[in-house]
Amino acid sequence: MELTKKYGLYIASGKENVKRERLREPDKTKYEIYDTIKAIIPGCKNWRELTAELKKQGITTEFRYNGDTNKIQGVRFGKNDYTFNGSKIDRTCSYSKIEFQLQQNSREQEVSIRQSIQSHTPEHSIIETASSVLGSLFDIQPESSDYDADQAEYLRQQSLKKKKKRKGFRI
């Protein structure tokens, strides 16, 4: 940050504006991996699908585990004898960010499946549902058993006290 201020430089807004043809290794490979991941993630629902698609493109995927446990801590991508941590490629390529995006994709697909199932329901079931809802509107509901006469009397007394206080302060 100090150098950017000192020499009047600025930080680029994103990787989209980089001239890929002018890059040299290892940055060239890093940007190839970035572009491939960004193109593939929207079509994948889980890590298995993502790693299979990346493998078709010649990119290896290696998971980093936390110590002796089986909990995944991070991910590394490799191509052309270069390997990069997901977060070194781009902030959006870290394990947690990709995991979140894959979960979002999975949820979106579930929602679209549910909507398509609901859109194929027959008309008579919709009419039956509407009539049952309307019929239940006119059912007489019994009084709730939560009514407490002492509590109601106490609240009434409190409101009377407030009225008396207000009357006393008027001019």
pLDDT tens over the chain, length 171 residues:
677 778 877 766 677 777 778 888 888 888 888 889 999 999 888 889 989 999 998 999 998 888 878 888 899 999 988 999 988 888 888 889 999 998 888 888 778 777 777 766 555 566 666 666 555 555 555 555 566 777 788 888 888 777 766 666 555
pLDDT at 66: 84
pLDDT at 76: 92
Which domain, by its residues, includes 84?
Answer: 45-118
24, part of any domain: no
pLDDT at 73: 87
pLDDT at 12: 66
pLDDT at 27: 86
H-assigned helices in the chain: 2-6, 27-40, 47-56, 86-89, 95-119, 123-137, 149-168
The token pair at 136 is 């239940």
28, part of any domain: no
33, part of any domain: no
b/e for 99-136, b at 16 or more Cβ within 10 A?
Answer: eebbeebeeeeeeeeeeeeeeeeeeeeeeeeeeeeeee
54, part of any domain: yes
62, part of any domain: yes
State the amino acid at position 75 in one-letter form: V
106, part of any domain: yes
166, part of any domain: no
Q: Angle, nearest 10°, between helix axes 27-40 and 47-56?
A: 130
171, part of any domain: no
Domain count, the chain: 1
